[in-house]
Amino acid sequence: MSVEMLEQVRERILPMLRLVAEEYRPRVPEGYPIIVDSVPNGVVGLEIDPNYAMYVTTDGTELFADFYVRSSRIDARSSASREKFAGAPLYDRRPFSPYTTDLQLRNMIAELMAHHNYQPGLIHISDS
């Protein structure tokens, strides 16, 4: 059942992912961005570069929106209840409704783009 729901989401999100990929192609490392289009394997998404990706996935029964981003190296804030290390990868899995509107899909892609655009002007994350 969820593969059919993923196929329906794929039909709506794939044109948006292609547009974003073309926009980012001259600004990211060679070989990126990558559009992941594998409904039989339960995943559709976009990898802007090795550190920023968004996928719509299924576990066989439900759909999820998975975000993989790297926190900024200049963001070393922490609090008493939670440590946050600069440059650490962040993995965020959210429940995803197959009835998500096109506007909500665009907002998810815009969130990924905002994370990528917020990073400092470094070509690659490296220690100095």
Examine residue 127 and state whether it is found in any structural domain, yes or no. Answer: no
pLDDT of residue 113: 92
Domain total for the chain?
Answer: 1
Report d(CA 46, CA 48) in Å as an integer: 6
Examine residue 43 and state whether it is found in any structural domain, yes or no. Answer: yes
- Span 3-18, pLDDT tens digits: 889 999 999 999 999 9
Percent of all residues in the chain with a pLDDT value above 90, rounded to a whole number: 55
Residue 45 β-bridge partners: 36, 55
Examine residue 125 and state whether it is found in any structural domain, yes or no. Answer: no
Report d(CA 14, CA 55) in Å as an integer: 11
Q: Which residues constitute the domain of residue 57?
A: 2-76+84-118
Burial class (CB in 10 A: 0-12, 13-18, 19+), 87: middle
What is the value of pTM for the model shown? 0.81
State which H helix or E strand residue 89 sits in. strand 89-96
Examine residue 65 and state whether it is found in any structural domain, yes or no. Answer: yes
